[in-house]
Amino acid sequence: MAQGTVADIARAPESVTGRMLADPPRHPLPGLARRPPPPADEWLVVEGARLHNLRGIDVRIPLGRLVCVTGVSGSGKSTLVHGVLHASLARLVGRGRRGRGPVGCEAVRGHERLGRVLEVDQSPIGRTPRSCPATYVGLFDEVRRLYAATTEARLRGWRPGRFSFNVAGGRCEACEGQGVRTVEMSFLPDVKVPCEVCGGSRYAAETLEVRWNGRSIADVLAMSVDEAVDLFAAHPRIRHPLELLRDVGLGYLTLGQPSPTLSGGEAQRIKLVAELARVRPEAPDPRARRRAKPTLYLLDEPTVGLHMADVEKLVRVLHRLVDAGHTVVVIEHNLDVIAEADWILDLGPEGGERGGRVVAEGPPERVARRRRGSHTARALREFLAARARR
Ligand code: ZN
């Protein structure tokens, strides 16, 4: 799209990278306002955190906010978030409670308000070609129901299970619904080749005779998210998760793309969409939504490997989780994310033995005003000033 110096790239409007260089985002992003700190009883408090280099520190995390944990490498971010916060909440919160008492600290307060703690990372969403975006975000069950409701399927007595590629019945048995076959090569890694029986469609030929809006179910799996949003416009339970996938910049994925071919960043955003899809705007019973306790999401450097434009999309997804009442805690070095936080918790001042303390906390503007003791404060101040000058 462009090549040359940074200035050359910035002059190339057809390049997304060029556009981002010429006009980088300002914070808060358009349409997103900073949330004020919550009332005193809506904070998660970790008291006396003492693990690895943490110096018996007290940490306050506002609930229902986007929180960034920052600090130079080795300052204690991972120890605090994984070793203390996640380990403690896994014991204290939700149905999967593993035991009593906090880990790596003296006490945790305020966790009663949380229903769940969940780490969202870049690990694959599934290791077999049987898993794909449509199955992971849960919309494929609804698609199968549509197919089973067609006249053709009802005449044949086919139920939704007939349109599954995960169980025997309607799928191609030669590849067991994977669409690919694994060929073992002596002395070489296995290779995957399209199934010669179904041609990669995953289904038996009779199953594909059933059409909905002129398309077989294999045609649907071959569609991109962008195309499918239009096709399922009248079916909110399918359209809603598709719109979420499109909003996070994954409109180009096909519904049936095998999970092992997704990048770490794509997998992470699909996981976030699956979480967002649980928050149905048109949920029939508002009381049920109010009863459900919110989740605390943990993310560790989620921007690794993401393009600048995708960082902005990721930030918008995180904000949507917070808008739905959840808390998002992100370990991050990327200033475009840090500047979007409602609250920053900066550890340091240095790494290792010289780290392990809270050196700054508060909204980005307040942290940026700090003159001493925080590398993040200086970097953030210069970053915000440079962005404001444009
Ligand atoms: Zn096959």
* pLDDT one-digit tens code per residue, 120-141: 998 998 888 889 999 999 999 9
pTM as predicted: 0.89
pLDDT at 292: 80
Q: What is the pLDDT of residue 159?
A: 97
pLDDT digits (tens, 9 = 90+) for 350-371: 999 999 999 999 999 999 999 9
Alpha-carbon span 36 to 297, nearest angstrom = 19
- Give the rounded percent of residues in the chain with a pLDDT score beyond 70: 95
Q: Compute the distance between CA of residue 92 and CA of residue 113 in angstroms, rounded to an integer.
A: 11
Q: How far is the CA of 203 from the centre of ligand 1 (A)?
A: 6
Q: HSE (CB half, 13 Å, CA atoms) of 340? A: 28
Measured torsion, CA atoms of residues 225, 230, 231, 237, in degrees rounded to the nearest 10: 80
Rounded to the nearest angstrom, the distance between the alpha carbon of 176 and the centre of ligand 1 is 7
Strand segments (E) across 83-146? 107-109, 116-119
Do the beta carbons of residue 117 and residue 137 sit within 8 Å?
no
Ligand 1 centre to CA of 62 (Å) is: 51
Query: Quick check: helix, strand or coil at residue 38?
Result: coil
Tell which phi-psi region holds residue 357, choosing left (phi > 0), alpha (psi between -120 and 50) or beta.
beta
| For residues 282-287, average pLDDT | 54
Q: What spacing in Å lies between the alpha carbon of 258 and ligand 1's midpoint?
A: 14
Ligand 1 center to residue 196 CA distance, Å? 7
C-alpha 46 – ligand 1 centre gap (Å): 53
Ligand 1 mean position, distance from CA 202 (Å): 5
CA of 70 to the centre of ligand 1 (A): 49
Place of tokens 């459900």: 292
200: CA distance to ligand 1 center in Å?
6
How many angstroms does the Cα of residue 161 sit away from the middle of ligand 1?
A: 17
Q: Could you give the dihedral angle defined by the CA atoms of residues 146, 152, 158 and 164, in that order, rounded to the nearest 10 degrees?
A: -50
Residues 6+ apart with CB under 8 A from 56: 48, 49, 50
Distance 158 CA to ligand 1 centre (A): 20
Rounded Cα–Cα distance for residues 243 and 249 (Å): 10
From the number of C-beta atoms within 10 Å of its C-beta (0-12, 13-18, 19+), residue 184 rates as exposed
240/267 Cα distance (integer angstroms): 19
Residue 221 Cα, ligand 1 centroid: separation in angstroms? 14
Q: Give the pairing type, strands 66-70 and 107-109.
A: unpaired
What is the spatial distance between Cα 88 and Cα 376, in angstroms, rounded to a whole number?
27
Spacing, Cα 269 to ligand 1 middle (Å): 29
Distance of CA 20 from the midpoint of ligand 1 (Å) = 43
Spacing, Cα 68 to ligand 1 middle (Å): 46
Give 148-179 pLDDT, tens digit per residue. Answer: 999 999 999 999 999 999 999 999 999 999 99
Distance linking the first and last C-alpha atoms of the chain: 24
Label residue 336 by pLDDT band (50, 70, 90).
Answer: very high
CB 72 within 8 A of CB 378: no
Share of the chain above pLDDT 90, in %: 81
The predicted model gives 304-327 an average pLDDT of: 92
Q: How far apart are CA 164 and CA 177, in angstroms?
A: 8
Given a contact cutoff of 8 angstroms between Cβ atoms, the answer to whether 24 and 309 are in contact is no
Give the Å distance between the CA of 126 and the centre of ligand 1. 19
**What is the 171 CA–ligand 1 centroid distance (Å)?**
8
Residue 129: closest CA among 171, 169, 181: 181
Tens of pLDDT, residue by residue over 79-90, are 999 999 999 999
From CA 94, how far away is CA 111, in angstroms rounded?
A: 10
What share of residues in the chain are helix, strand, coil (percent, to 5)? 35, 15, 45
CA of 181 to the centre of ligand 1 (A): 8
Distance 195 CA to ligand 1 centre (A): 5
Identify the burial level of 78 via C-beta atoms within 10 angstroms of its C-beta, where 0-12 means exposed, 13-18 middle and 19 or more buried: middle
Ligand 1: centre distance to CA 215 (Å): 19
For the record, the structure tokens of 183 come out as 């060929």
pLDDT at 101: 85
Between the CA of 152 and the centroid of ligand 1 the distance, in Å, is 23
Of the candidates 77, 29, 27, 70, the one whose C-alpha atom is nearest the C-alpha of residue 49 is: 77
- For ligand 1, the distance from its centroid to the CA atom of residue 194, given in whole angstroms, is 8
Whether the CB-CB separation of 217 and 169 falls below 8 Å is answered with no
Residue 99: its pLDDT value, please?
65
pLDDT (average), residues 177-197? 89
Q: What is the largest CA-CA distance in the chain?
A: 75
C-alpha 380 to ligand 1 mean position (Å)? 54
HSE-CB for 236 with a 13 A CA cutoff:
5
